[in-house]
């Protein structure tokens, strides 16, 4: 099972209603992807869960913020640069989503909430992945 290491607290500065800046790195040792370090300064929306799922979003959001930052970083580094050399994925989106779930387990998020997060990132993440790809020229 993966585990977080480094600074114990998630330190964020709100930039606007939908974006926060990371003030201390988020560090995770993943059994699936190796060591992943999200640097201070990274901008995050904290997850790709569609905002139309407002009640579920509010219920789940605070449970997995560190995992959400990690997930956003992996989505942004869609070509695998954020991953250890041994974990260069053939399907980087699926690996990012699986590492997200691994991180939620490490945070102690229960199975029901993890299932809701999974559904959210698979649905909302598809749009984010497509939009990021268009912006990056994929």
Domain that holds residue 10: 3-136
Q: Which of 31, 26, 34, 32 is nearest to 4 (CA)?
A: 26
> What is the spatial distance between Cα 14 and Cα 18, in angstroms, rounded to a whole number?
8
> What is the spatial distance between Cα 70 and Cα 50, in angstroms, rounded to a whole number?
17
Q: Is 108 exposed, middle or buried (0-12, 13-18, 19+ CB in 10 A)?
A: exposed
> What is the spatial distance between Cα 107 and Cα 15, in angstroms, rounded to a whole number?
25
Q: Is 49 helix (H, G, I), strand (E, B) or coil?
A: coil
Tens digit of pLDDT at every position of the chain (138 positions): 899 999 888 888 988 877 889 999 999 999 988 899 999 999 887 765 555 454 555 555 567 889 989 988 888 765 555 555 455 556 778 888 889 999 999 999 889 888 888 887 777 766 666 665 544 444
Question: pTM value?
Answer: 0.79
Query: What is the number of domains present in the chain?
Result: 1
């Amino acid at each position: 099972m993966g585990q977080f290491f480094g600074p114990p607290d998630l330190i964020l500065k709100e930039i606007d209603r939908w974006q926060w800046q990371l003030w201390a790195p988020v560090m995770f040792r993943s059994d699936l992807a190796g060591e992943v370090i999200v640097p201070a300064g990274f901008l995050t929306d904290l997850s790709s869960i569609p905002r139309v799922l407002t009640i579920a979003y509010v219920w789940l959001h605070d449970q997995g913020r560190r995992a959400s930052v990690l997930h956003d970083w992996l989505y942004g580094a869609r070509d695998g640069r954020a991953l250890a050399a041994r974990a260069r994925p053939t399907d980087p989106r699926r690996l990012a989503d699986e590492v997200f779930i691994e991180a939620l387990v490490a945070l102690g998020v229960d199975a029901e909430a993890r299932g809701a997060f999974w559904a959210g990132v698979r649905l909302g993440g598809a749009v984010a992945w497509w939009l990021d790809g268009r912006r990056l020229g994929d």
